[in-house]
Amino acid sequence: MRSSNSSSITPADSGATETFAELLARVQACTVCAAQLPHPPRPILRASPTARLLIVGQAPGRRVHETGIPWNDPSGDLLRQWLGMTREQFYDVARIAIVPTGLCYPGTVKGSDLPPRPECAPLWHPPLRAAMPGIRLTLLIGAYAQAYHLGKRRGRTLADTVHAWRDFAPDFFPLPHPSPRNRQWFKRHPWFEQELLPALRERVGAVLATGDNGNLNNQA
Ligand code: SF4
């Protein structure tokens, strides 16, 4: 888990002041669904109180679980390609937070990853999101992230939800999972690469270039 500093926040449930580092320490120590996990809990996320872009995916896969680095796999390579980012830019925790729907590797069944643990997002997303007030855009990658954050606003299918990306601006941007196994999906939906990806890059670029006062950093 990574954090850039320890500014103070106030947890909504206790009324006590808790630093960002203390919140991350609580996340790191979580064992709520340990009995359902194939390995001891290892929450994998990157967060800081200065982050402006939040990336919400599904849950760590085996390789990510082993390395402790989110999106450190071929799906991450494709996601960075979509965003037009280098690894260095993508892993700049001061600007980009990465918090999956389920923070720990849930295991596999018949070679497929299990869904994120249902306890996780309701437990940790609200306090983490509250502790990152600078977030201007949240990328919702895959059906689980969209289900949790969009609820009844999402479409009948993942394609319906993603195709309606303009409806979720300015707070959210729904995306399919960038698994290389989904290449046929990308081909069947040509608007994805032709229309959505250019819009995504433009929106992310604008969010990351914007300062705390809402002005572009390169403007006086
Ligand atoms: S998946 Fe989430 S709720 Fe379960 S142990 Fe990990 S951090 Fe806690």
| Ligand 1 binding pocket includes 104 (Cβ within 6 Å) | yes
Rounded CA separation 22/109 (Å)? 35
Q: Would you say 140 and 146 are in contact if contact means Cβ atoms under 8 Å apart?
A: yes
Q: Would you say 115 and 149 are in contact if contact means Cβ atoms under 8 Å apart?
A: no
pLDDT in tens, 31-78: 999 999 999 999 999 999 999 999 999 999 998 999 999 999 899 999
| Ligand 1 binding pocket includes 1 (Cβ within 6 Å) | no
> For a pocket test of ligand 1, which of 120, 124, 144 has the largest count of ligand atoms closer than 8 A to its C-beta?
120
Q: Whose CA is nearest to atom 6 of ligand 1?
A: 104
Q: Whose CA is nearest to atom 1 of ligand 1?
A: 104
Rounded CA separation 8/207 (Å)? 24
Specify the pLDDT at position 110.
86
Q: Which of 86, 53, 57 is nearest to 171 (CA)?
A: 53
> For a pocket test of ligand 1, which of 103, 123, 124 has the largest count of ligand atoms closer than 8 A to its C-beta?
103
Q: Would you say 44 and 68 are in contact if contact means Cβ atoms under 8 Å apart?
A: yes
Mean pLDDT of 156-172: 97
Mean pLDDT of 106-128: 95
| Ligand 1 binding pocket includes 119 (Cβ within 6 Å) | yes
Rounded to two decimals, the pTM is 0.90
Specify the pLDDT at position 16.
63
The pair of structure tokens assigned to 149 is: 């954050």
